[in-house]
C-alpha cells in the first residue's frame, strides 16, 4: 500500500504537490525528500499525507527519502507558514530558503563530526611551552567541546589535528554534556544597567518585546550577556542576531571568553557551504547561536531568549527572493515560543521607537557610557561653504588628524564609498564611464586596474583613451576609500593606516584587526559603514566623517533617518574610554536640523520630529506599505504590467494604490525596473487586499521577466 505525500517545493507556485511513497511507513512532517519535478529533480519538504489526490492517475513516486539529514522541526514549519502568509511568498520557497545550500542539495551529505572533545589522555597533557596556540586550545577543550567550524574560522584546524594525532583530542558527532563551568567574572553593572536588568530578567519565561535604546558605549552588550547567562542557567538557548558578517567573529570570541563552558555556534553566509551546513546541524545542541539574518530560521529546541543587536540596520531586511525582515521574523518566532526578544540600538528604527512610545514594546534607556569618566564625544561641523578642500579634506580636518597622531592616539576616517573613485571621466568632452548593463556609473578600482559596477558585478579594463573624443588624459571623479587611503598616506607619512571595506576585509581578518588596534599597531582606520557599529577601540579619540550630504536631498523619505543613525554610530567610535573623543563632520549644510540634534546626542528629540513629520505625510510607521516590483527587458513592458496590476486591484476601502513609476535605479543587469506602491493605515486591511490581489497578478498576460511583492519595503 502506498502513501500520498503533500510536498512543498521551491517554486513560484503557491501550492503543495502530491507524490506517491511506495511504502506504508509514514513520514514525519518536515522530512526532506527528493522528487521528480518536470524534467528535473528537486528537494522538497513533506508537510503531510492525504488519502486522495485529484491527480491520482498521474502521481509520480518519491525518488528518495533524505534520511542523511534531520527533518525540519514543527516550530520551523510554523514559522515558515507565518512568513509565507505575511510576505505572500510560496511556502515551499520559504522552507527551502531556510535551509543551508548544502542541505537542499540532493547529493548525499555526510557531515564531518562537528565537535572536538578532550580525551582522557588529554586531561593531564601539557603542550610544549612554545606551542601557545595548542596550549590555549587544550585549555578551551577542558572547559567545553569546540565546534569544527569555529576552529576553521580561527585558523586552528592544524592545531586540532596535532592534538588528535597525539591522542589528546578526538572528533565526535554529538557534543557530550560537560560539567557546568563558572562564567567569567562580569564587570559591576552601572546603575542604569542594573535598573535595566531589573526589567529584563523577570521577563524570561514569557513573550515580550524590549527595546534597549542606549547611547554608544553604554554597555548594551553587557545587558545581553547577563540576560543570556540567566537563560543558560535555566537550561535554555539564546539566539543572537547581528547585522554584519564582520561582527560575528569578534562577538563569538567575546561570548567564548564570557561563557567558557558553553557550546557556541556561528552561522552566516560568509561560511563555506559545508561549514554552514555543519553549524546548522550542530545548532540544536548549542547553547548560543550567533548569526546574521539567515540564522533566524535555525532549529533551536530549547530557545529561551532572542537578541537583535543594531535592530535598526537595513541589513536585517532581505532584498531579493523572500524579502523578509529578520528582526520582525525574530519577534514572530519569539511570540510563537513565548520567550522574550530584546532589540538593541543607539538609534532605533522609527518603527520600533514608535511601538515603544505607544507602550507595545517596553522601552529601556541607557543615557550614559559604561566606562567611568567616558563622555559622549564633542561633535563639530566643518562648513564646506567657507572651507576649501584639498583631496577631499579641509585644513581643520588635516590638522586634527596630525594632532591626534602626535598625541599617540588613534583616528577613524569615514567615507561610505569603496573603490578609488566613484567614476572615471574625460575632462575634454565630459564622458563618464557608464555600466553597459545598468543605469549607473562604473566605479574606478585603480589598484586592480579595473572599472566595476557595484550593482550587477560587471567589470572592464580601464580604457587608455576616451571612447568619445580620444583624449588619453582620463581623470578619477570624486573620492573612494582607496583614494582616501592614498591621500592620508601622503598627509601622514609616519602613520600606520588600515583600510576597512568590502574589498579589503574577510570575516576572519576582524579578529586580527582588533588585536592590532589594541596593540597600537594602527594609527588611522579609513573605511565604510563596516566600521560604524559594534567596534570598541579604547584609544580612538577622533572620528572624521566625509561626504554624507547626499542623503539630505535624497528622494527616499528614510534617507535622513538612516543618515542620523549612521553619523551617530560612527561618532560613537570616538572617546569610548577615559580619553575624550572628538568628531568632525564636513558638510555644506551645517544649519540642517539633523545636525543640531546630532550635536546634542538627542536621538529622542530627532525621532519625535521625524515621527511628527511622518504622521503629517501619512508615511510609515503610521501607514503600512507593499511594493510591487516588475522587471522586463523594456521599461514599457514593465510599466504596462504594473498598470494592468493596478487596474486589476480589488476594490477595497482604506487602500491607496499609487501610479506605477520607474524605479530610482531604473536598469540593473539589462533589466528595466518599475514599481507600484500600495499603502494603508490598517495592516489587516492591507494584508487582506494583497492576498486577493496576488492571485490576480498570476493571471496577467503578457508576463514580465520577473515580478515580486515586497511587504514593508525599506529600499525603493
For residue 527, give the CATH number of its domain.
3.40.50.300
Return the ∠ at Cα 508 (arms to 503 and 509), rounded to 5°: 55
The strand pair at 497-500 and 524-527 is best described as: parallel
Same-domain check for residues 668 and 699: yes
Q: Phi/psi at 423 (nearest 5 deg)?
A: -160, 160
Which of the four pLDDT bands, split at 50, 70 and 90, describes residue 649? very high
Residue recorded with cell 554610530: 569
Domain boundary (84, 104, 124) is at 104
Same-domain check for residues 570 and 498: yes
Would you tell me the crossing angle of helices 603-617 and 559-571 to the nearest 10 degrees?
170
Which percentage of the chain shows pLDDT scores above 90? Answer: 66
Residue 462 lies inside a defined structural domain of this protein: no
Residue 67 lies inside a defined structural domain of this protein: yes
Same-domain check for residues 600 and 657: no
Helix (H) / strand (E) element for 397: namely helix 395-406
Q: Phi/psi at 524 (nearest 5 deg)?
A: -135, 125
Residue 455 lies inside a defined structural domain of this protein: no
Residue 79 lies inside a defined structural domain of this protein: yes
Cis omega (within 30 of 0) for bond into 621: yes
| Confidence at residue 151, expressed as pLDDT on a 0 to 100 scale | 79
pLDDT in tens, 310-336: 999 999 999 999 999 999 999 999 999
Contact 178, 143 (CB under 8 A): yes
Same-domain check for residues 71 and 129: no
pLDDT in tens, 15-64: 999 999 888 778 899 999 999 999 999 999 999 988 888 877 788 999 99
Number of structural domains in the chain = 5
Q: Of 342-356, 365-379, 474-488, 622-636, which gets the smallest average pLDDT?
A: 365-379
Cis omega (within 30 of 0) for bond into 702: yes
Same-domain check for residues 382 and 360: no
SS (HEC) of 7-20: EECCCCCCCCEEEE
Same-domain check for residues 330 and 213: yes
Helix (H) / strand (E) element for 213: namely strand 208-214
Average model confidence (pLDDT) across the chain: 90
Q: Which residues are paired to 443 by β-bridges?
A: 452
Same-domain check for residues 143 and 58: no
Domain boundary (85, 104, 123) is at 104
Residue 603 lies inside a defined structural domain of this protein: yes
For residue 83, give the CATH number of its domain.
3.40.1440.60
C-alpha–C-alpha distance, residues 440 and 517, integer Å: 36
Same-domain check for residues 571 and 635: no
Same-domain check for residues 266 and 355: yes
**CB atoms inside a 10 Å sphere around CB 659:** 10
Residue recorded with cell 534617507: 559
Q: Of 24-38, 147-161, 426-440, which gets the smallest average pLDDT?
A: 147-161
Same-domain check for residues 320 and 356: yes
Which residue stretches of 474-585 are H helix? 481-491, 509-518, 559-571
Helix (H) / strand (E) element for 120: namely helix 120-123
For residue 639, give the CATH number of its domain.
3.30.310.180
Q: Which residues are paired to 221 by β-bridges?
A: none
Q: What is the largest CA-CA distance in the chain?
A: 86
Domain boundary (590, 614, 638) is at 614
| Confidence at residue 109, expressed as pLDDT on a 0 to 100 scale | 77
C-alpha–C-alpha distance, residues 519 and 343, integer Å: 32
Q: Which residues are paired to 524 by β-bridges?
A: 411, 497
The strand pair at 671-680 and 624-632 is best described as: antiparallel
Contact 713, 626 (CB under 8 A): yes
Residue 123 makes CB contacts below 8 A (sequence gap 6+) with: 142
**Mean pLDDT calculated for residue range 75-102:** 96
Q: What is the dihedral of CA 300, 301, 306, 311, to 10 degrees?
A: 40
Same-domain check for residues 491 and 602: yes
Return the ∠ at Cα 91 (arms to 88 and 96), rounded to 5°: 125
Residue 185 lies inside a defined structural domain of this protein: no
What domain range includes position 74? 3-104
pTM, two decimals, is: 0.91
Residue 428 lies inside a defined structural domain of this protein: no
Residue 136 grid cell: 590555549
Contact 29, 76 (CB under 8 A): no
- Flag whether pLDDT at 508 surpasses 70: no
Residue 636 lies inside a defined structural domain of this protein: yes
Residue 589 makes CB contacts below 8 A (sequence gap 6+) with: 549, 552, 595
| Confidence at residue 414, expressed as pLDDT on a 0 to 100 scale | 95
- Flag whether pLDDT at 181 surpasses 70: no
| Confidence at residue 153, expressed as pLDDT on a 0 to 100 scale | 64
Same-domain check for residues 302 and 350: yes
Amino acid at each position: 500500500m502506498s502513501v500520498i505525500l503533500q510536498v512543498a517545493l521551491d517554486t513560484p507556485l503557491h501550492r503543495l504537490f502530491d507524490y506517491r511513497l511506495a511504502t506504508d511507513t509514514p513520514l514525519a512532517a518536515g522530512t526532506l525528500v527528493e522528487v521528480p519535478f518536470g524534467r528535473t529533480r528537486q528537494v522538497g519538504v513533506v508537510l503531510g499525507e492525504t488519502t486522495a489526490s485529484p491527480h491520482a492517475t498521474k502521481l509520480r513516486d518519491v525518488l528518495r527519502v533524505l534520511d542523511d539529514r534531520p527533518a525540519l522541526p514543527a516550530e520551523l514549519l510554523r514559522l515558515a507558514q507565518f512568513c509565507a502568509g505575511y510576505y505572500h511568498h510560496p511556502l515551499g520557497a520559504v522552507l527551502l530558503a531556510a535551509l543551508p545550500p548544502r542541505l537542499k542539495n540532493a547529493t548525499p551529505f555526510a557531515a564531518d563530526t562537528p565537535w572536538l572533545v578532550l580525551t582522557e589522555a588529554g586531561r593531564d597533557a601539557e603542550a610544549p611551552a612554545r606551542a601557545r596556540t595548542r596550549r590555549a586550545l587544550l585549555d578551551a577543550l577542558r572547559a567545553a567541546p569546540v565546534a569544527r567550524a569555529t576552529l576553521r574560522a580561527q585558523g586552528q584546524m592544524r592545531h586540532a589535528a596535532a592534538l588528535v594525532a597525539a591522542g589528546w583530542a578526538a572528533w565526535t558527532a554529538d557534543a557530550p554534556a560537560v560539567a557546568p563551568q563558572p562564567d567569567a567574572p562580569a564587570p559591576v553593572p552601572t546603575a542604569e544597567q542594573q535598573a535595566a536588568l531589573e526589567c529584563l530578567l523577570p521577563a524570561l519565561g514569557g513573550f515580550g518585546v524590549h527595546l534597549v535604546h542606549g547611547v554608544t558605549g553604554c554597555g548594551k552588550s553587557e545587558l545581553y550577556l547577563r540576560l543570556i547567562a540567566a537563560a543558560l542557567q535555566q537550561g535554555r538557548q539564546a539566539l543572537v542576531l547581528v547585522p554584519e558578517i564582520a561582527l560575528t567573529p569578534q562577538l563569538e570570541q567575546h561570548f567564548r571568553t564570557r561563557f567558557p563552558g558553553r557550546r557556541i555556534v556561528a552561522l552566516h553566509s560568509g561560511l563555506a557551504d559545508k561549514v554552514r551546513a555543519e553549524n546548522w546541524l550542530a545548532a540544536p545542541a548549542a547553547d548560543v547561536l550567533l548569526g546574521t539574518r539567515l540564522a533566524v530560521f535555525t532549529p533551536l529546541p530549547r530557545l529561551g531568549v532572542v537578541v537583535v543587536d543594531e535592530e535598526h540596520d537595513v541589513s536585517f531586511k532581505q532584498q531579493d527572493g523572500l524579502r523578509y525582515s529578520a528582526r520582525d521574523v525574530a519577534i514572530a518566532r519569539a511570540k510563537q515560543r513565548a520567550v522574550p526578544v530584546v532589540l538593541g540600538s543607539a538609534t532605533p528604527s522609527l518603527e520600533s521607537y514608535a511601538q515603544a512610545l505607544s507602550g507595545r514594546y517596553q522601552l529601556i534607556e541607557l543615557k550614559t557610557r559604561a566606562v567611568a569618566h567616558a563622555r559622549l564625544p564633542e561633535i563639530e561641523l566643518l562648513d564646506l561653504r567657507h572651507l576649501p578642500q584639498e583631496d577631499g579634506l579641509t585644513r581643520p580636518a588635516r590638522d586634527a588628524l596630525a594632532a591626534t597622531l602626535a598625541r599617540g592616539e588613534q583616528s577613524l576616517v569615514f567615507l561610505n564609498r569603496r573603490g578609488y573613485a566613484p567614476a572615471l571621466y574625460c575632462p575634454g568632452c565630459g564622458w563618464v564611464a557608464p555600466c553597459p548593463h545598468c543605469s549607473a556609473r562604473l566605479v574606478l578600482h585603480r589598484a586592480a586596474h579595473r572599472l566595476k559596477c557595484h550593482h550587477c558585478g560587471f567589470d572592464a579594463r580601464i580604457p587608455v583613451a576616451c571612447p568619445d573624443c580620444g583624449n588619453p588624459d582620463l581623470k578619477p571623479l570624486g573620492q573612494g576609500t582607496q583614494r582616501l587611503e592614498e591621500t592620508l598616506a601622503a598627509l601622514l607619512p609616519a602613520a600606520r593606516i588600515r583600510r576597512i571595506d568590502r574589498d579589503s576585509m574577510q570575516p576572519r581578518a576582524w579578529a586580527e584587526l582588533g588585536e592590532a588596534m589594541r596593540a597600537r599597531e594602527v594609527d588611522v582606520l579609513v573605511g565604510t559603514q563596516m566600521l560604524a557599529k559594534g567596534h570598541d577601540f579604547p584609544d580612538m579619540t577622533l572620528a572624521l566623517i566625509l561626504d554624507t550630504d547626499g542623503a539630505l536631498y535624497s528622494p527616499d523619505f528614510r534617507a535622513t533617518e538612516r543618515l542620523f543613525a549612521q553619523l551617530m554610530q560612527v561618532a560613537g567610535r570616538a572617546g569610548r574610554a577615559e580619553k575624550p573623543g572628538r568628531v568632525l563632520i564636513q558638510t555644506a549644510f551645517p544649519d540642517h536640523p539633523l545636525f543640531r540634534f546630532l550635536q546634542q546626542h538627542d536621538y529622542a528629540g530627532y525621532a519625535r520630529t521625524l515621527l511628527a513629520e511622518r504622521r503629517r505625510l501619512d508615511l510609515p510607521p503610521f501607514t503600512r506599505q507593499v511594493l510591487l516590483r516588475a522587471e522586463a527587458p523594456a521599461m514599457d513592458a514593465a510599466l504596462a504590467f504594473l498598470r494592468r496590476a493596478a487596474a486589476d486591484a480589488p476594490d477595497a476601502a482604506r487602500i491607496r494604490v499609487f501610479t506605477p513609476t520607474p524605479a530610482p535605479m531604473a536598469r540593473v543587469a539589462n533589466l528595466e525596473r518599475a514599481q507600484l506602491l500600495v499603502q494603508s493605515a490598517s495592516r489587516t486591511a492591507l494584508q487582506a487586499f494583497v492576498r486577493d490581489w496576488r492571485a490576480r497578478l498570476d493571471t496577467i498576460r503578457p508576463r514580465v521577466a520577473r515580478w515580486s511583492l515586497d511587504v514593508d519595503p525599506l529600499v525603493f
